[in-house]
Copies of this chain bind each other. A is one copy, B any other.
Amino acid sequence: MVKELDEKAEALPDHVGWRLWQASRAWQAQFAAAMRATGHSWFSEARAGLLGHIPRGGTRQAALIERAATTKQAVQQLLDGLEAEGVLERLPDPRDGRGKLVRYTRKGLDALRDGDRIKLQIELGYIGRIGEQRFAALMDALRALDAARGDVPETAAAAQDETSESN
Residues of B within 8 A of A56 (CB): 10
* A84 interface contact, C-beta 8 A: no
Q: Kindly supply a per-residue 1/0 record for chain A positions 83-102, scoring 1 wherever the CB is within 8 Å of any chain B CB and 0 otherwise.
A: 00000000000000000000
* A109 interface contact, C-beta 8 A: no
Instruction: Give how many copies assemble into the complex.
Output: 2
Q: Pick the contact of A126 from B38, B117, B145, B159 — CB < 8 Å?
A: B145
**A: interface residue count bin:** 35 or more
Smallest Cβ distance from A114 to chain B, in angstroms? 9
Chain A residues 1 to 58 lying within 8 A of chain B, measured CB to CB, are: 7, 10-31, 33-34, 37-38, 49, 52-53, 55-57
Q: How far is the CA of A58 from the CA of B103 in the complex (A)?
A: 50
